[in-house]
Amino acid sequence: MADRDGFIWYDGKLVPWREATTHVLSHSLHYGLSVFEGVRAYKTAKGTAIFRLREHTQRLINSAKIYHMPVEHSIDTLMEAQLEVVRANKLESCYLRPIIFYGSEKMGISTRGVSTHTAVAAWPWGAYLGEEGLEKGIRVKTSSYARHHVNVTMPRAKVASTYANSILANLEATQDGYDEALLLDVNGFVAEGAGENLFIVKDGKIYEPEIASALTGITRDSVIQIAREFGLEVTPRRLTRDDIYICDEAFFTGTAAEVTPVRELDNRTIGSGRRGPVTERIQSRFFEIVGGKAPEYDHWLAYI
């Protein structure tokens, strides 16, 4: 990733990609406290547009607030930085990674006296769980690792340290040949995927796990609004893993994962073992919206 052409926005200005470096004694590298976002931009007939830019940028600021990290830039500057990075790299469709992290003034757990830095990078990134996954669905395994308790890492923040838990879960699942992991909370109820929120469809109704120990996903919010448009309310429930085994359809949502059907959990086929009809309808509406083909959702698109 470090060795490529292009530009990264770094503390207020665009710098050549290879020069966007930081010191090995950066506080965030040692203690895992940085906050970041995953954002996507899509090609539309009116040019490239970043999907729900304001909501992602607000979540970044909220994540920093939760962890007492000073944010050196206004929301408008951070939004403009993301637009600028897409423009400067001449990208049509891409993934964006804004990050706020601590510098290298000192070691020790306290962050007092340590400065924060802000960077935004963008690069082309296709279907996170594979093109085939989007169409046919993926195979998921329940993780032996629990999702963090809400008083361990706070789930409203998208904070790097949470992802050590995600990485363990993802590795465990993928090393056993599955595509992704599903994490339960410390009480054994379904929380979320390693980097995705989960929805299920049962008897024509859509349910999601209670959001207590999961990230409040922006794709999740978009799906809830799309479902409403179809006359379907999404009901939060305390879901158990066997609720998923016997549902009609299940799907993951996330900026990277978009809307990915889950066709199997723990070697139990979900529904027909294919992308279900409700999932397909929501997924195709989602791609219409991000692709600028639904004028009523134009307010979700920030054209570069």
Which residues are designated catalytic? 158
**Phi and psi at residue 167, to the nearest 5°:** -65, -45
Across the chain, how many H-helices and E-strands are there?
8, 17
- Name which position in 33, 138, 215, 259 contacts ligand PMP (CB under 6 A): 215
Taking each helix axis from N to C terminus, what angle separates 75-88 and 53-66, rounded to the nearest 10 degrees?
130
Is 134 a residue that touches ligand PMP (CB under 6 A)?
Answer: no
- Name which position in 57, 118, 153, 253 contacts ligand PMP (CB under 6 A): 253
> Quick check: 158 and 214 in contact, CB under 8 A?
no
- Name which position in 57, 63, 116, 255 contacts ligand PMP (CB under 6 A): 255
Work out the number of other CB atoms within 10 angstroms of the CB of residue 146.
17
Question: Residues in contact with ligand PMP, total (CB under 6 A)?
Answer: 15
- Name which position in 153, 219, 260, 279 contacts ligand PMP (CB under 6 A): 219
Site string for ligand PMP, 24-63 (x = CB under 6 A): --------------x-------------------------
Output the smallest distance, CB 105 to ligand PMP, in A. 29
Output the smallest distance, CB 38 to ligand PMP, in A. 5
In the chain, what is the greatest distance between 2 CA atoms, to the nearest angstrom? Answer: 57
3: left (phi over 0), alpha (psi -120 to 50) or beta: beta
- Name which position in 27, 202, 220, 263 contacts ligand PMP (CB under 6 A): 220
Output the smallest distance, CB 114 to ligand PMP, in A. 25
Binding residues for ligand PMP restricted to 87-116, rule: CB under 6 A? none
Closest CA to 25 of 106, 99, 101: 106
Binding residues for ligand PMP restricted to 151-190, rule: CB under 6 A? 166
Interface region with ligand PMP, contact rule CB under 6 A, candidates 93-101, 123-131, 136-144, 211-219: 211-219
Is 197 a residue that touches ligand PMP (CB under 6 A)?
Answer: yes
Token code pair at residue 80: 């403009």
> Quick check: 181 and 172 in contact, CB under 8 A?
yes
Please report the DSSP string for 205-218 in residue order.
EEEEE-STTS---H
Cβ-proximal residues to 218 (8 Å cutoff; 6+ apart), any chain = 52, 55, 56, 59, 255
- Measured at the CA of 173, the angle between CA 168 and CA 178, to 5 degrees, comes to 155
Output the smallest distance, CB 198 to ligand PMP, in A. 9
C-beta closer to ligand PMP: residue 158 or 263: 158
Output the smallest distance, CB 19 to ligand PMP, in A. 27
C-beta closer to ligand PMP: residue 253 or 283: 253
Q: How far apart (Å, rounded) are the C-alpha atoms in residues 18 and 21? A: 7
Interface region with ligand PMP, contact rule CB under 6 A, candidates 103-111, 170-178, 215-223, 234-242: 215-223
Is 283 a residue that touches ligand PMP (CB under 6 A)?
Answer: no
User: What b/e string do you get for 30-61 counting C-beta neighbours within 10 Å, with b at 16 or more?
Assistant: ebebbbbbbbbbbebeeebbbbbbebbbbbbb
Token code pair at residue 200: 């299920």
Which residues of this chain interact with ligand PMP, rule CB under 6 A?
A: 38, 166, 192, 195-197, 214-215, 217-220, 253-255
